Amino acid sequence: MENLEEKRKSGAWLIGGLGGIAITVASGAFALGKGLIPPTGMVTETDNFRGLELLPADLLEFGGCDIRKGNALDIAQNILQESQNIGAACLPHITDRLKKYDSSIEQGLATNCGKTITSLSDTSNDTQVDLAVQVETIRQHLRSFKKENNLEEIVVVNLASTEPELPLREYHFDPAAFSTQITANNLDSVRASTIYTYAAILEGCPYINFTPSNGALIPALVKLAEETGVPVMGNDGKTGETLLKSILAPMFSSRNLEVLSWAGFNILGNMDGKVLDNPENKKSKLKSKDKLLSEILGYDPHSNVDINYVPSLSDQKIAWDFIHFQGFMGTKMSLQFTWQGYDSMLAAPIVLDLIRLALLAKKRGERGLMSHLGEFFKTPIEGKEYQHHRQHELLIHYAEQARKTIT
Ligand SMILES: NC(=O)c1ccc[n+]([C@@H]2O[C@H](COP(=O)([O-])OP(=O)(O)OC[C@H]3O[C@@H](n4cnc5c(N)ncnc54)[C@H](O)[C@@H]3O)[C@@H](O)[C@H]2O)c1
């Protein structure tokens, strides 16, 4: 145990640290470390990634922040029991690490996040604190986490609730102009996610935006990351309905079948679903889920995505998609699918993949967008490729190149 603690030189700092995904990521890593669960669902545990010297999950230290108060152990118990998997049986063996994780959770920010997120917050006085001070506070949290755990590197992952869209202005495209807005304390120029990302980049921490919140990786911050040598990537983890879309849509293209309509209906019962029930927050998600269809097909079929909150489902997400398409002699046909998943269980293994790959990118001296990670996101930033199998080929190619440089 002591040896392992000494060996933990890298960490992950989870924004939204008491949320469903964050708790599953941490519990999953602890259980993996003890050999209690297999790494099913982790892409980086497949043969294509052997020999890359990716950090084993038990060598990661975890910390984070949240705007709510809560107990990581109780939250883990609820999630793992509700998902009726082998996780609940692991709890007694990972209690110590969950307690340590819990004690690391700092108070987060709810700056300009809209009323739904602000209503979750246990302290909603962020509007009274200057933006520059908020940036410094988060930088300080990151530095303390690093110092207290004797870490060399930390990856920051945004797993917080989806914010309303941030309207982009000219100053969001230039690092210097953006920095002026922080100094001028222009509250409208940021959401909380913007401050977290800015602080992470200034601290040299690789950064992943797993949420659809567009305020997180604004163009000015992507540029700043590029200039300062920090790897970053987003937006919005691709785990369920959109994953299937990015696999099925290319089939229609390759067989020259015309998609007339694609209608998707999602129901979910966790807190993410509750937040997305607010039209302002939902708009960010819908935009992200709908984009790839026209990108893959090369035209704009009629499409709509609906998301509804059904509390009794808890972490279960059900998506029913109806695809109406046209074939030879104008024959109209249809495909329907129903996807039933547990949101946090689908997301957590790929968050662990992203953390490991972000650490690798930092070690390799990469900067700016990690475009090889496109397959993990619904709307990969500046992504030119939306077809899942091609995105996966890009990642495998990257792994092959990276392996060659390992001495
Ligand atoms: N499969 C998936 O579950 C999936 C896929 C893609 C994206 N996402 C996105 O990942 C995010 C997390 O999902 P989840 O299911 O864990 O949600 P969740 O509601 O369980 O957790 C979100 C956590 O973030 C906290 N939070 C909200 N605003 C914050 C802020 N400004 N600073 C710090 N903490 C804050 C909340 O208190 C909560 O604990 C959501 O934005 C969701 O849309 C999820």
Ligand 1 atom with least separation from CA of 192: 31
Ligand 1 neighbourhood includes 274 CB (under 6 angstroms): no
| 76 CA distance to ligand 1 middle (Å) | 15
Ligand 1 atom with least separation from CA of 68: 37
Q: Which two tokens stand for residue 382?
A: 């500046």
How many whole angstroms from its chain centre is CA 33?
22
- Residues of the chain under the 50 pLDDT cut: 1-2
pLDDT of residue 124: 55
pLDDT of residue 31: 95
| 169 CA distance to ligand 1 middle (Å) | 26
Dump pLDDT digits (tens) for 156-189.
Answer: 999 999 999 999 999 999 999 999 999 999 999 9
| 193 CA distance to ligand 1 middle (Å) | 11
pLDDT of residue 274: 84
Q: Which two tokens stand for residue 105?
A: 């959770």
Phi, psi of 260 (to 5 degrees): -90, -45
Given ligand 1 and candidates 21, 74, 309, which is best to mutate, with the most ligand atoms within 8 Å of its CB? 21
pLDDT of residue 179: 97
| 324 CA distance to ligand 1 middle (Å) | 33
| Ligand 1, atom 40, residue with closest C-alpha | 161
Q: Which two tokens stand for residue 246?
A: 């990015």
Ligand 1 neighbourhood includes 109 CB (under 6 angstroms): yes
Ligand 1 atom with least separation from CA of 240: 1
Ligand 1 atom with least separation from CA of 341: 1
Dump pLDDT digits (tens) for 240-278.
Answer: 999 999 999 999 999 999 999 999 999 989 888 888 888
How deeply is 223 buried, as exposed, middle or buried, from its count of CB atoms within 10 A (0-12, 13-18, 19+)? Answer: middle
| Whole-number Å distance between alpha carbons of 183 and 203 | 18
Q: Kindly report the pTM of this predicted structure.
A: 0.95
